[in-house]
Structure 1
Amino acid sequence: MAHHCCVPFCKNDARYDREKLLSFHSFPKDENLRKEWTMKIKRDEGPLFRIRKHTKVCSAHFKATDFKRTLTGRRDLRKGAVPSMFKWVSKSLEHHQPRAHHNVQNTTNQQSVHTERSNMAAKMVNTYRSGKLILDVSKSSEKDNKCDKFILSHYFNFSVGIIIPGVKELPKSLKKALQQDGMSVYFVKQVPLSLLISPFFLENFCRKGRLYMMSHGTKIDTEDCVALLPSGKLVMNLTKDTYERLGLEGKKSQFHDTRHHRYVVILNLLDASFAPGKKTYERVKWAFTDRLNLFYNMLVSWIPHSCDVSSSSVSTFFETHGLFSVLVGLKDKTNTFTDIKVPIVNSQEPNGTVESCDFEDLFDWLGSVSCDCINSDDLNGFLPLYEASDKILTNCLSYETRGFILPQTVQKLLHDLKDIVVDQNLPFVALTVHGFNDTPTTWDTREHGFQNNGDNLYTYVIFPDGTSWCYTAIGAFDTFI
């Protein structure tokens, strides 16, 4: 009888395997091992899927070490073998040395799992992919440079969610970090772009601090959106009409199509050639004044390099030019759950085991808690498909704050959570950060993929053993730092 593979997205069929390179294997009779197989292939027995004697998994989903040869040359599975090679998992946790061209140092404290991504901006370590959900596994013993770079280059954060099992109130250290002392945020009305390239503004704000500015109230798919990054780059995501009237050099948006004619212009305001009297500067000044005078409502925050200078100076600057400026804060919401079951998670097994859930199930659980639909007794609630702990925790805190949250604040929150999970011996803690829907960039100058699955968020899950999982949900055409 010709067999075919029952794994989702696998099209292997014995009828088309003319060279007999594949073998097809029945499900084990042992109930625990069979359960692990169904969990790995992400299928549940029910009306749409029944395991029979002809239900097979092909050899493409097993490692080479899972097989043995019989005396007759037949390839059989070893006892206890479990399928682990799937399209939704790029690499297993199998340890191997990095290839030379990865240019990544291997250390004894770091598992070496390296995958090629031609469409990514950088090689990534310990990475698993499920569609556009990416998981990065790291240890606290590793340097925090990569984590800090990741957080600090995600400039425009709209909301931060914190989930702490076993805690009733938000710890004081987190409350203090969320005050954003010395990092005030202002809403400024009708800011002319010509003002942002004035010599005084460039010298006193762009060069002497980290400036975060983004247009507010404009839709990135139908209107113009701009952002001034702390690197001094002015990013403009423009409609075709604005781009042609402005007269500056740019490029087509990677999401440019028949319905969305968009262009991206990036100006480096700190470049040596961008100075009064220079050709580039005079061209931009002409475009912003004589050609097309553009105004935007903007969210603004400035962190001066000098401790002797107040961050409110930027608000004073705009007010002296007759612009309305008002200080804006954060709005928060807290939920405390009681008698909640927390999934069993093995920090060293992101793909899950018989006893623990995998990284996708944990991500679903975190989402259900943050959306307040964790109550499985409610028909409209979240129905857990993960392994739940027998231990009932008295409390589980779900906290969310919204506004303009600076990356330095997120960085401080993450460092404080690493101490909290160890000091209070918690199973894990989670931090989720959402970017603005209509910001023209995600990480650094990378264009935000608003058209197709324009997700712009990441989640850190921190374990007491020092391991952390970083989930990144990005748009279908977004690139990753």
Structure 2
Amino acid sequence: MLDIGNDNDSIPKPQCLVTHLQLSNYINHDDPPKKKKPFSILLHQTHSHTLDLLIPATSAEPLQQHLSAKRTDILHYATLHMKLLDIISGDFFTEYIKSPGKNDIAMLSEGRSGVDDVYRLHEGKLCLEIDKSTFERMGLEGRAVPSLGRKHVKQRYVVEMDLRDPRMVSGKKGFERVKWAFRNVLNETKTWVVVDLKNPAGCGGGGVMAAAFAPSVRKIEPKVERVRDALVPAWPEAVEGEDYADVAELLEWIGLAMMISPRVEKDDDVDDYLCRYQVPTAFGDTKTQDLVRLRWRGLICPAFAQSVFLAGLKTAGAEWLAMSAIAFDGEAYTILVNGDHSISWEHKD
């Protein structure tokens, strides 16, 4: 685990969790692992806004053909305007919340986490991030968000509820309290983004949703960019405790390559006065490769990220690949796979 920050214990420090492991010789793409890393990392980050995949150029065309054949290269999501009360009322509640076998959606409201009231829905679990005054007026159980010593930051609260709980039906006392709070306190109309968890390449913008809320459907195709003659570092087959500083340099290189930075190019001639960056050589000599980066930006659910990752594994073979995703709440991960070896970095803010 890498601690990032200063030595002042009163100031919260972001952390980067580093995991190195060997992948199984066989991965069932129809039923991939859910509890073992790096697959569990993909499923844990529920609301991402940017997904990057970095691969050698030789793997790019087979990958894009595979994604197109599976119809998983294009992400669809919808934007609509609705209130919290609309989510737990009428046909919308029945079709999209109480019937996960038929329809299952993820939703994220407008707002900045830590500043505005933000609502999230994933697999029937609703999470409300609100300020202190709103929390006190709602009358629902919740928990305070730890400030971790931050000064001049107003206290925030989180209220979580499982809308698929059998007790979440009209007439039950707890559910009626939720309806009262949504009718009298959290009653503003918000802009939401919605994605279909059953079919990430499709969209949850049909049926009752289309009839009642007139969603606007967005189609997101990957943005493809190339890096010519990039200096690629040697990837380690084993990582010891003393190697984590060198592994952090690999993460830095992946970040630069995903930014299409000229610093990783073989013929980069930037003035040393401006930048002294060098491609890491701790695990061996560098090699020259053309690279391709695919980027999706929108509401990216875990199922879509997993489908892209599995497609990358299938087409990469003995080659390497790197994938990263950034969440709306600031958390992020990067996964490097080289043959049957994997290194993952999880950024926890």
The TM tier, using the shorter chain, reads: 0.7 to 0.9
Q: Superposed, which structure 2 residues align to 1:348-387 within 5 Å?
A: 348-349=238-239, 358-373=246-261, 374=263, 375=265, 376-379=268-271, 380=274, 383-384=277-278, 386-387=280-281
C-alpha RMSD over aligned residues: 3.2
Q: Which residue of 1 aligns with 2:9?
A: none
Match of 1:462 in 2: 337
Aligned residues: 317
What is the match of residue 221 of structure 1? Answer: 114
Find the structure with the greater CA-based Rg.
1
Question: 1:391-412: CA deviations, max 9, x gaps?
Answer: 322x111222211122112112
Residue 434 of structure 1 corresponds to: 326
How far does residue 290 in structure 1 lie from its aligned partner after superposition? Answer: 3.5
Amino acid of the structure 1 residue aligned with 2:112: K
Contact preservation (8 Å) 1:345, 1:357: no
- Contiguous gaps of at least 5 residues in structure 2: 4-12, 28-32
Aligned partner of 2:8 in structure 1 is: none
CA deviation after TM superposition for structure 1 residue 381, in Å:
5.5
Post-superposition Cα deviations, 1:76-107, rounded to whole Å, max 9, x if no partner, equal: xxxxxxxxxxx959xxxxxxxxxxxxxxxxxx
Matching of residue 402 in structure 1 with residue 311 in structure 2: no
What is the CA distance between 1:298 and its match in structure 2?
Answer: 0.4
Give the Cα separation in 1 of the matches to 2:59 and 2:315: 13
Structure 1 counterpart of 2:288: 392
2:141 alignment counterpart:
249
Structure 1 315/340 Cα, relative in aligned 2: closer, same or farther at 3 Å? same
1:29-40 aligned within 5 A: none
**TM-fit CA distance, 1:352:** 7.6
Match of 1:389, SS state, is coil
- Are 2:230 and 1:340 equivalent residues in the alignment? yes
Q: Report whether the alignment pairs 1:193 with 2:64.
A: no
2:163 is the counterpart of 1:269: yes
1:335–1:398: 8 Å Cα contact kept in structure 2?
yes
Structure in which a larger fraction of residues adopt helix? 2
Shift of the 311–401 alpha-carbon distance from structure 1 to 2, 3 Å rule, reads closer
Q: Which runs of no fewer than 5 residues in structure 1 stay unpaired?
A: 1-86, 90-129, 438-454, 476-481
Greater relative contact order: 1 or 2 (C-alpha under 8 angstroms, separation 6 or more)? 2
Q: What one-letter code is carried by the residue in structure 1 that aligns with 2:285?
A: S
1:113-192 map, 5 Å: 132-141=15-24, 144-145=33-34, 146-147=36-37, 148-167=39-58, 169-170=60-61, 171-173=63-65, 175-176=67-68, 180=72, 184-189=76-81, 191-192=82-83
- Please tell me whether the aligned partners of residues 188 and 297 of structure 1 are also in contact (alpha carbons under 8 angstroms): yes
Per mean C-alpha deviation after superposition, the further-off stretch among 404-413 and 179-188 is 179-188
Partner of 1:282: 176
Question: CA offsets per residue over residues 39-67 of structure 1, 9 Å max, x none?
Answer: xxxxxxxxxxxxxxxxxxxxxxxxxxxxx
Query: Cα offset for 1:187?
Result: 0.5
Deviation at 1:331, TM superposition (A): 5.3
Q: Percent identity?
A: 21
> Match of 1:4?
none
Distance 1:243 1:315, change over 3 A: farther
Q: Answer yes or no: is the 8 Å Cα contact 2:325–2:332 preserved in 1.
A: yes
Are the aligned partners of 1:213 and 1:227 in contact in 2 as well (CA < 8 Å)? yes
Is 1:294 matched up with 2:294? no
Q: Hey, what does 1:16 align to over in structure 2? A: none
Deviations 1:132-186 (A, max 9, x none): 1111122222773324333223211211111113437452246438954897411
Query: Which residue matches 2:219?
Result: 329
Change (3 A) 1:253 1:313: closer
> Cα deviation per residue 1:343-368 (whole Å; 9 max; x = unaligned)?
11222236687xx9931111111111
* Cα distance in structure 1, aligned partners of 2:278 and 2:204: 51
Given that 2:331 and 2:348 are in contact with CA atoms closer than 8 Å, whether structure 1 keeps it comes out as: yes
Match of 1:237 in 2: 129
Query: Would the alpha carbon gap of residues 326 and 350 (structure 1) be closer, same or farther in structure 2, given more than 3 Å must change?
Result: farther
Distance 2:44 2:246 in 1: 28
Aligned counterparts of 1:250 and 1:333: Cα–Cα separation in 2: 41
**1:372 maps to amino acid:** I
Per-residue displacement from partner, 1:415-450 (whole Å, max 9, x unpaired)?
A: 22222232xx42x2111111124xxxxxxxxxxxxx
Provide the C-alpha distance between the structure 1 equivalents of 2:117 and 2:236, rounded to a whole number of angstroms: 46
Residue type of the partner of 1:294?
E
Say if 1:318 and 1:181 are closer, same or farther in 2 by CA, change over 3 A. farther
